């Protein structure tokens, strides 16, 4: 199916905002104390799984669009990033500008008012789309033995990761996190953080979605142990109160 055909089908058949808002409202209403049960966990761990708050229909629409874009526009990366301790990026991805130009569902979810309100509720603060156009969303694919998204932080505070496809746990590709860490881009001290702090590991199956406090949680995806496919979309937002702050973008080589 061509991208233009996929776009037409989605535009005609789906109101992404309604699909998101209705399912989020129903799911949140089942949580007795969202601030304590959800926001506290995010603050404590820098991580929160939110799979149950997203409808299967939205996840399938996102997956379909992402795989169409990957099939036409994926670019292979095999680089290391100095500002994150020369940690590796060995994967393929689709850039923000290609998704924005050719996608419908992914940009619609990213800019959804109900979805941003939901993330803001969990974060206990108002969030906004990133002021910098090139770090709103990206599609990443691990596919070869040894592929990894090495240790790093995010330039922006809140990221939602949609796990579109993942192999079984014995293939690797686990998320590992060290919350409550600070990214000094001139001297990241990644190895010190690893050696002096507990590392929390999380396995995600296809269809899982999680929220990450990405600017203060050092994290990585562990290397694949065998050839397999692991595909995610990363969406990132800024705090409303920080909309005018200066942000440098040392990891842009991974996204150009």
pLDDT value at residue 255 = 63
Contact 48, 38 (CB under 8 A): yes
All residues at 6 or more sequence positions from 2 whose CB lies less than 8 Å from its CB, including other chains = none
pLDDT value at residue 5 = 44
DSSP 35: I
Q: Report the candidate in 172, 116, 121, 107 with the shortest Cα–Cα distance to residue 143.
A: 172
pLDDT value at residue 7 = 47
What is the rounded CA–CA span in Å between residue 208 and residue 162? 6
Contact 47, 211 (CB under 8 A): yes
Q: Where are the domains of the chain?
A: 3-240
The 10 Å Cβ neighbour count of residue 213 is: 24
- Which residue ranges in the chain fall short of pLDDT 70? 1-14, 252-256
pLDDT value at residue 147 = 98
What is the rounded CA–CA span in Å between residue 210 and residue 103? 22
Structure tokens at 35: 């601030």
Quick one: fold of 3-240?
Answer: Jelly Rolls (2.60.120)
Tens digit of each residue's pLDDT (9 = 90 or more) over 188-209: 999 999 999 999 999 999 999 9
pLDDT value at residue 34 = 85
Tens digit of each residue's pLDDT (9 = 90 or more) over 120-143: 999 999 999 999 989 999 999 999
All residues at 6 or more sequence positions from 53 whose CB lies less than 8 Å from its CB, including other chains = 23, 24, 27, 28, 118, 209
Structure tokens at 208: 């899982």
């Amino acid at each position: 199916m061509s991208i233009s055909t996929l776009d037409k089908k989605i535009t005609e058949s789906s109101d992404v905002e309604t699909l998101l808002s209705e399912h989020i409202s129903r799911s949140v209403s089942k949580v007795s104390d969202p601030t304590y049960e959800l926001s506290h966990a995010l603050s404590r761990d820098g991580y929160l799984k939110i799979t149950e708050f997203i409808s299967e229909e939205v996840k399938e629409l996102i997956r379909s669009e992402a795989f169409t874009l990957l099939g036409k526009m994926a670019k292979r990366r095999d680089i290391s990033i100095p500002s994150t301790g020369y940690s590796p990026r060995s994967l393929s991805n689709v850039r923000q500008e290609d998704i924005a130009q050719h996608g419908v569902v992914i940009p619609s979810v990213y800019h959804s008012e109900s979805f941003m309100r939901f993330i803001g509720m969990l974060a206990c603060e108002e969030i906004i789309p990133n002021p910098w156009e090139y770090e709103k969303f990206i599609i990443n694919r691990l596919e070869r033995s040894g592929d990894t998204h090495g240790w790093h932080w995010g330039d922006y505070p809140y990221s939602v990761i949609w796990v579109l496809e993942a192999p079984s746990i014995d293939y690797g590709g686990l998320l590992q996190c060290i919350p409550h860490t600070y990214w000094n881009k001139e001297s990241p001290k990644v190895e010190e953080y690893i050696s002096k702090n507990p590392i929390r590991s999380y396995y995600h199956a296809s269809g899982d979605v999680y929220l990450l406090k990405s600017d203060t949680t050092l994290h990585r995806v562990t290397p694949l142990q065998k050839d397999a496919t692991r595909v995610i979309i990363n969406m990132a937002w800024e705090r409303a109160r920080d909309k005018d702050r200066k942000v440098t973008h040392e990891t842009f080589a991974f996204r150009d």
